[in-house]
Structure 1
Amino acid sequence: MKIRSVFNIASAILSCALVASAQSPDPVGTIYHGPVPDNLHGSDYRYPWPVKLFNFYNQRQNLSMAFMDVPARKKCDKEKVAVLLHGGNFCGVTWSATARKLSAAGYRVILPDDIGFCKSSKPQGYSYNVNQQALNINSLLTALGIEQVTVVGHSMGGMIAARYGLMYPETVNQLFLVDPLGLEDWVAKGVPFLPIDASYESQVTQNFTTLKEYEAASYFHGAVWKSEYDTWVQMLANIYAGDHGSDYAYVMALVTDTLLSQPVLYQLPHLQTRTYLMVGENDITALGKAWSSADVAAELGHYSTLGPAAAALIPNCTFHMFPGLGHAPFLQDPKAFYELFFSWLD
């Protein structure tokens, strides 16, 4: 009874915050520091730090971006800030171990859930343009008073991070791209158009088993599945099975359609930021592979060649390929990942 009472109070406070935002649209946005329910916008996964909300008005609707703000545990002469951007089948919380290490090294760490994902709003009538997601992240950082940042992005988050570097180069100290999507033009290579309705139908049936099968085959190709990966699969499966599951499935369909049309490959020569690109040698992740012909699918997602080719296009780039690792090296071999990451940092 006591737990339900606390939940109701938190829900009421959150509702008041969102209603206030709806009554007075604010394009700049405001930060809500109050309590929020554990089950927020369909995600009941427990986050290790307090969840805060960035409430803002965008595309003619009021939105709420969930994020964690992890303070630096080590004092530095000048504040250092890192923002960690998650992949499409992950959430900001997946970067928790990295956030702890950065905090211990003197970084304040911002862990957002992109609009449409995890504990953030899941608008159905929304353009999930990669540039829009980068703009949303910049709006959050502006609302927090952060002017300079190290940007780290994985998978879809790597695409957003690259766009962020292109749009706001003067604000980026360093740019880390971890197995980013968009290093190839999937459509140009033959991936056929998939109607959003058909994409939605394939998403709405997702569950723990199907998600695990996909991630095991694509993200950890050729590797033994570790039990600690299950928590990240369950995190997503719970969203699909929850009250916002249908909304989330439609968001994923919209996001997939958008990403297919916006590979970052062609913009890489214009990146002026200090960029670090790291990929797993065994990464075979590619959008559209599931509904392409066998011949087309065989040509997609070869990061062992995509990685070096992309690095050659970026003017100020340092590149590394992790031997034997797949799409998520920071999960598959944390020791190897952190040794490299912190040797490059600053």
Structure 2
Amino acid sequence: MKFFSVFSAWSAILSCTAVVSAQSDPDSIGTIYDGHVPADLYGSNYTYPWQVKLFNFSNQRQNLTMAFMDIPARNHHKNKKTAVLLHGGNFCGVTWSDTARHMSAAGYRVILPDDIGFCKSSKPQGYSYNVHQQALNINSLLTALGIDQVTVIGHSMGGMIAARYGLMYPTKVQQLILVDPLGLEDWVAKGVPYLSIDATYESQVVQNFTTLKQYEQVSYFHNATWKPAYDTWVHMLANIYSSNYGSDYAYVMALVTDALLSQPVIYQLPLLQTRTYLMVGENDVTALGKAWSSPVVAAKLGHYDELGPAAAAMIPNCTFHMFPGLGHAPFLQDPEAFYDVLFSWLD
């Protein structure tokens, strides 16, 4: 039962004394919990490779829990470097694990959060999942951890949040990497019709391994061979949908979709002050609203081979790279190509 899982999880959390208080900064409200965490948390039973810690905080008149991993740098450099990696809407922080290992080896402390509403984090139902709020939540976590300067890397929805973070906290971002970010086009302005939150929920609550895999094959790995290794990420999501939190998660996805559709970041890209690297897959065709748009409108959406160069030209201090033949998740589809590009530019 959901009640039992919630009670068990929070009993374990509250019974342990290993709680680290947030920094004294007035913008930091919350505590870091680094004690025992149940393997199945908020509907996610996926095994994470590092200890799961919890950031307990409040906003929108609700008590929230953000799960995250904190991976130390394996090489100790004189200049301490920290990176936060933000996941996409159909991903979790753990999807960045291999990238985190490489960055740790390169001297970075790496923070891998699960956004509020996703994966092992709490899934509030009456919550505004706007991009500004998600960026503020990440900043609250970093403040509680005592991190002031950070490299921000975001993929898909996480790229949209990363761009917003760069706009909201420009003095805190050392460098910004956007990987196939959403929001490089205004879907509504291109003709995507409004779909009610209730209707979006109904389309989400029936999701399972088969439907999720079909979507990712068409959108994320367009014209590519599906690798068995990708199945683990589909199972990761499908297990949440089939858990006691499945209905809650489906409603979160409906709220998130509604928020993202109204907040494309394309119009604010010229205001970015940070050193930025925008990278996209040539074959990426991902677009919000394509599934319920007319064929004429759908044909206009998700052309990252055009959207990427156009967006890069709008960002004042931007380097751009397009991965030939890759789709929406180049760090999964061709990790070596991704790392060659990433580490040739970092710092």
For the aligned pair, the TM-score class normalised by the smaller chain equals over 0.9
- The residue number in structure 1 matching 2:168 is 167
Residues 197 and 143 (structure 1), Cα distance of their counterparts in 2 relative to 1, 3 Å cut: same
Q: Name the structure 1 match of 2:24.
A: none
For residue 241 of structure 1, what is the aligned residue in structure 2?
242
Residue 49 of structure 1, CA deviation: 0.2
Cα shift readout 1:2-21 (whole Å, capped 9, x = no counterpart): xxxxx99866322557xx9x
Q: 1:13 and 2:19 equivalent? A: no
Kept in 1: contact 2:28–2:144 (CA 8 A): no
Q: Tell me, yes or no, if the aligned pair for 1:27 and 1:58 is still in contact at 8 Å.
A: no
Query: 8 Å contact 1:275–1:318 — kept in the other structure?
Result: yes
What secondary structure does 1:159 align onto? helix
Question: Take 2:56 and 2:233, find their aligned partners in 1: how far apart are those partners?
Answer: 26
Task: Identify the residue that residue 153 of structure 1 maps to in structure 2.
Answer: 154
Measure, in 1, the Cα distance between the counterparts of 2:311 and 2:30.
Answer: 35
Taking the aligned partners of 2:179 and 2:58, their CA distance within structure 1 comes to: 30
Within a 5 Å distance, the mapping from 1:164-203 to structure 2 comes to: 164-203=165-204
1:78 shift after superposition? 2.1
- For residues 109-158 of structure 1, give each alpha carbon's deviation from its aligned partner in whole angstroms, at most 9, with x where no partner exists: 00000000000000000000100000000000000000100000000000
CA deviation profile, 1:2-51 (whole Å, cap 9, x unmatched): xxxxx99866322557xx9xxxxx96111001110010011000000000
What is the CA deviation profile of residues 175-209 of structure 1, one whole-angstrom value per residue up to 9, with x for unaligned ones?
Answer: 00000000000000000000000000000000000
Unaligned runs of 5+ in 2: 1-5, 20-26
User: SS of the residue aligned with 1:12?
Assistant: helix
Find the counterpart in structure 2 of residue 335 from structure 1.
336
Number of the residue aligned with 2:23: none
| Count of aligned pairs between the two proteins | 334
Q: Following TM superposition, by how much is the alpha carbon of 1:79 offset from its aligned partner in structure 2, in angstroms?
A: 1.3
Q: TM-score, normalised by structure 1?
A: 0.94
SS for the counterpart of 1:110 is strand
SS of the residue aligned with 2:188?
coil
CA distance in 2, matches of 1:15, 1:200: 33
Report what 1:274 is aligned to: 275
Per the alignment, residue 97 of structure 1 pairs with 98
Matched-pair contact (CA < 8 Å) for 1:11–1:37: no
Q: Which runs of 4+ in 1 moved over 2 A?
A: 7-12
SS in 1 for 2:175: strand
Q: Give 1:278 shift.
A: 0.1
Q: Is the 8 A contact 1:72 1:109 kept in 2?
A: yes
Matches within 5 A, 1:33-182: 33-182=34-183
**Is the 2:280–2:321 Cα contact (8 Å) retained in structure 1?**
yes
Counterparts of 2:14 and 2:161, CA distance in 1: 30
Once the 2 structures are TM-superposed, how far is the Cα of residue 86 of structure 1 from its aligned partner?
0.1
Q: Could you tell me which amino acid in structure 1 is paired with residue 285 of structure 2?
A: I
Aligned equivalents of 1:10, 1:297: Cα separation in 2:
43
Could you tell me whether the CA contact under 8 Å between 1:102 and 1:109 is conserved in 2? yes
Would the aligned equivalents of 1:70 and 1:103 in 2 still touch at CA under 8 Å? yes
Q: Aligned with 2:158: secondary structure? A: helix
Q: Which runs of 5+ in 1 are unaligned?
A: 1-6, 21-25
Task: Quote the residue 1:315 is aligned against.
Answer: 316
**Quick check: 1:10–1:35 contact (8 Å CA) kept in 2?**
no
Within 1, Cα distance between the matches of 2:331 and 2:12?
A: 36
Letter of the 1:205 partner, please give it: V
Q: Which amino acid aligns with 1:155?
A: S
Kindly report which structure 2 residues correspond to 1:200-211, keeping only aligned pairs within 5 A, or say none.
200-211=201-212
Deviation for aligned residue 1:107: 0.4
Alignment partners' CA distance in 2, 1:304 and 1:53: 38
Once the two structures are superposed, residues 77-131 of structure 1 have per-residue CA deviations (whole angstroms, 9 ceiling, x without a partner) of 0210000000000000000000000000110000000000000000000000100
SS of corresponding position for 1:267: helix
Residues 234, 312 of structure 1: alpha-carbon distance in 2 compared, 3 angstrom cutoff = same
Code of the residue aligned with 2:176 in structure 1: it is L
Secondary structure of the residue aligned to 2:151 is: strand
Take 1:35 and 1:138, find their aligned partners in 2: how far apart are those partners?
Answer: 24
Distance in 2 (CA, whole Å) between partners of 1:12 and 1:306 is 48
